[in-house]
Chain A
Amino acid sequence: MTQRDYASEEQRLYARWLDYGTRIGFVVLVATFLAYVFQLVPPAIDFDDLPKYWSLPVNEYLAATGAPTGWGWVRRLGSGDYLNFLGVAVLGGVTIVCYLRLLPALLSKGERVFAIICAIEIVVLAVAAAGIVGSGH
């Protein structure tokens, strides 16, 4: 028996999607950070001004810089600092995509209880990602 056989079919499916998603996330994170730090894409907040803001609590930082909350950063992707959030969002979205792929696999195997757990987890993560709870301001 090979070691691979110890993982269930659904587990291997989840692993495959997690692997692809994580690789994409890291590539995007590194590429956008390099574009930001070498100013290939100009930042919204000048680098020399950053130290004035990064020691402020988040509420004061938002008020001082006019930085967006929720998904407002998407409208500012033309700025290097917000472009960087693409990588963060991909890494934050990988698990949701994996669960979405897992759900039909569980249903097709008749795993009703785990399919329900999977569906609730998708809702919880989607609610967090959408900013329905906790986005504030």
Chain B
Amino acid sequence: MLALAATAAHAAEPAAVAWWVWPLALFVVTFLLGIVAVLGGVGGGVLFVPIVGGFFPFHLDFVRGAGLMLALSGALSAGPGLLRSGMASLRLAMPLALIGSIASIGGAMVGLALPTNVVQTALGAVILMIVVLMWRAKKSERPEVAQPDRLGAALRMNGIFHDAASREEIDWRVHRTPLGLVMFAGIGFMAGMFGLGAGWANVPVLNLLMGAPLKVSVSTSSFLLSIIDTSAAWVYLNRGAMLAMLTAPSILGVMLGARIGGKLLRTAKAATVRRIVIGLLLVAGARALLKGLGIWN
């Protein structure tokens, strides 16, 4: 996938290539990203921004705007099913989303104000940090929450869901809510600044820090993105950092790829796909970092 993107990027000067080659290449690459993202359990945005920003001729400002729309589209499509099933929790999401969406506006404004090389360097560093997080992060199917904290209890951030795999009803609650809110401010800021979506950070905070069950964390994280990314996406649209020729093919490519990925999910080897995702992020993160530092242009 990276080779395809790199070949397209180095095939010729942008001006010498017919205009339609780029959206077509973008559609093919995002289609593949959609498959890998679903199989690897990550959002499309976290792969899209460093790969397209690093290997396509589009400026990072437009890539980040498209990355947010990509993450938003995926979250919006998944939202209704997750909410109806009770796997995502509106009560858990609303306070966190409020903090996250305010912070994401700030992140988007800062990202659009900073020089490109600074954003590119920071993006590379964040992607490499995500690689470490993905490599080392533990998950807890059902974290032990002996006592909910006072804020979590007051906001009744708890619920019951039916786990179809174990055929059990799982009663859950959260703790460390104030720290969770602080973390979501940081997550929202980074989502807005880099256009990454933020599932990679939402899930560990909800699951490991706040103690929500893994399935509730993954589902609520996806729903949260639909709110947090909305505010940042508007900032990019209002600033003019949205290109139809970049945004629409990317959304369509990832959505179609995600459908194929969903079908392959039963047969794919999770560990292998995870290594592929980490490998892609490692190369794309290194590329972003080196491009930002002016070492690999």
Contacts and interface: CB of A to CB of B under 8 A. Distances in A.
B33 interface: no
Interface stretch (B38-46, B228-236, B259-267, B272-280): B228-236
Interface in B5-46: 14-15, 17, 19-20, 22-23
Contact of A18 (B76, B94, B159, B239): B76
Given A85-B242, A95-B227, A117-B95, A6 B19 contact: no
A70 interface: yes
Contacts of B90: 8, 10-11, 14
B297 to A, nearest CB: 12
A54 B109 contact: no
Contacts, number: 206
Q: Which bucket holds chain B's interface residue count?
A: 35 or more
A78 interface: no
A94 B235 CA distance: 16
A121 B62 contact: no
A136 interface: yes
B252 A30 contact: yes
Given A29-B251, A58-B59, A135 B239 contact: yes
B72 A54 contact: no
Given A55-B59, A81-B245, A85-B237, A121 B69 contact: no
Interface-central residue, B234, B245, B246, by most chain A CB under 10 Å: B234
Contacts of B234: 92, 125, 128-129, 131, 134
Interface of B: 14-15, 17, 19-20, 22-23, 57-59, 61-62, 69, 72-73, 76-77, 79-81, 83-86, 89-91, 94-95, 97-98, 101-102, 105, 108-109, 112, 116, 154-155, 159-162, 164, 226-227, 230-235, 237-249, 251-252, 255
Interface of A: 1, 3-8, 10-12, 14-16, 18-19, 21-22, 25-26, 29-30, 33, 36-37, 47-48, 50-52, 54-58, 61-62, 67-71, 80-82, 84-85, 87-89, 91-92, 94-96, 113-114, 117-118, 120-121, 124-125, 127-129, 131, 133-137
